[in-house]
Amino acid sequence: MEPSDIRRLLDAFEQSDWNEIRLSVDGVEVFISASDEAAPPATSPRAAVAPPATPAAPATTTSASAPAAATASSTPAEIPAGEAVRSPSPGIFWRSPSPGAPPFVEVGQHVEAGTVVCIVEVMKLMNRVVAGVAGTVVAIVVENSQQVARDQALVVIRPDAG
């Protein structure tokens, strides 16, 4: 792990809603916490620590007409009407769980609240992003493998009537 990798991890952590993160790469363990408490000691410096299962990231769903952070590839004027599923943190946007796999969702597809719509990768950690409402996908705003910012619109859903 290079110092630049740690700097990128710190930057991603500071821009996220995470409380803590623990990463072990090639015998180097990094623990970052938003609390003032010290990290619990590692059981053994040689012990490989399996990362905890990554729960679905709580995506923020807001009206697409709400102001959004402008980016070079996505401005509020380009986002169609509906509920925007936004990135929980800065990272890389992925439409499918792995290369060659079908995308999580397609335009025109009906989704339920809690349906995984994409992944945002942060330092090789895959964070599932879920729909906050049931409805029809009307737009996928970001291109696959594109860098995204925290709170950037990723997918737009037209909520079910009712």
pLDDT of residue 1: 65
Q: Let me know whether 73 and 143 are in one domain.
A: yes
pLDDT at 114 over 90: yes
> Is residue 81 within 8 Å of residue 155, measured between CB atoms?
no
Domain count, the chain: 2
Averaged pLDDT score across all residues of the chain = 76
**Can you give the pTM of this predicted structure?**
0.56
Residue 75's domain is classified under what CATH number? 2.40.50.100
**C-alpha separations of 24 from 2, 41, 87, 92, 126 in Å:** 13, 13, 25, 21, 15
> Is residue 69 within 8 Å of residue 141, measured between CB atoms?
no
Q: Let me know whether 98 and 135 are in one domain.
A: yes
pLDDT at 50 over 50: no
Q: Let me know whether 74 and 151 are in one domain.
A: yes
> Is residue 146 within 8 Å of residue 92, measured between CB atoms?
yes
Residue 44's pLDDT band, with cuts at 50, 70 and 90, is very low
Domain that holds residue 153: 60-159
Q: Let me know whether 20 and 67 are in one domain.
A: no
Share of the chain above pLDDT 70, in %: 69
